[in-house]
Structure 1
Amino acid sequence: MPQLKLISIYCKETEDWTGADEALIKVNGNDTWRGSLNDRQSKSLSSLPLIPFSSTARIELFDEDAGGPDNADFLGSVDVQAFEAGQGERYPKFTEDGANYTITYEVLA
């Protein structure tokens, strides 16, 4: 069964105009990581456990606003495919709602 390895998140430009974003990564609908990021900041995700999946895993990125997850701004998503195993690191961009993020991941066999 393939496994998703999240490696890092990089914020080129926040969605918020008033400071840092409160970033939330979800994988297959499950909260996976939260952290505060500002322009040109990155955070390592390598300490997160590997995430097993069957054929497809969906990575979604949100900016959680003061109202909590229900008022989160959607920043984008990517569908990770099992056939990506062994193809090295991937660098999808998340650019919805004026943000510009990159999440680095790899699929392990």
Structure 2
Amino acid sequence: MPTIHLKTLKCIEQEDWTFHDDVVLKVNGEMALFASMDDGEKYKVDWSTSFTSKAVVTLYEADYGGDDNDFLGAHAVRSGSGTLHFTRDGANYALSYAVS
């Protein structure tokens, strides 16, 4: 059974221009990270989980006060390693990962 290891998440450009982003990173619906991030900030995720056919990695920016969360992107990963980019809704995040 393959395992995905999420290494680091870098905020190149945050989605929320009035305050920091509260980012929610999930793999197949399982929470991998909840963190507050600003432009240029890098966060060591260092999180792993096993999966069967694919790992769907999603990133959201959490909003409060009745506003829906902002969907920043999703990627289906089966093998390999590299960087996933999340660029929806004006954001720009880069997540390094490896599958073993």
TM-score by length of 2: 0.93
**Deviation string, structure 1 residues 18-43 (Cα, Å, up to 9, x no partner):** 12100000111122210000001010
Aligned residue pairs total 100
Give 1:52's aligned residue: 50
Q: Does 1:106 align with 2:89?
A: no
2:88 is aligned, of 77, 90, 96, to: 96
Runs of 5+ in structure 2 lacking a partner?
none
Give 1:38's aligned residue: 38
Secondary structure of 1:66's aligned partner: coil
Secondary structure of 2:69's aligned partner: strand
| Cα drift, residue 99 of structure 1 | 0.1
Q: Does 1:61 align with 2:59?
A: yes
Secondary structure of 2:83's aligned partner: coil
Runs of 5+ in structure 1 lacking a partner?
none
TM-score by length of 1: 0.86
- Structure 1 residue ranges, 4+ long, deviating more than 3 angstroms after superposition: none
Distance 1:16 1:107 in 2: 31
Secondary structure of 1:36's aligned partner: strand
Give 1:77's aligned residue: 74
> Share of identical aligned residues, percent?
38
Secondary structure of 1:11's aligned partner: strand
Compared CA separation, residues 67 and 90, structure 1 to 2 (3 A): farther
Secondary structure of 1:65's aligned partner: coil
Q: Tell me the amino acid that sits aligned with residue 90 of structure 1.
A: G
Correspondence 1:9-28 to 2 at 5 A: 9-28=9-28
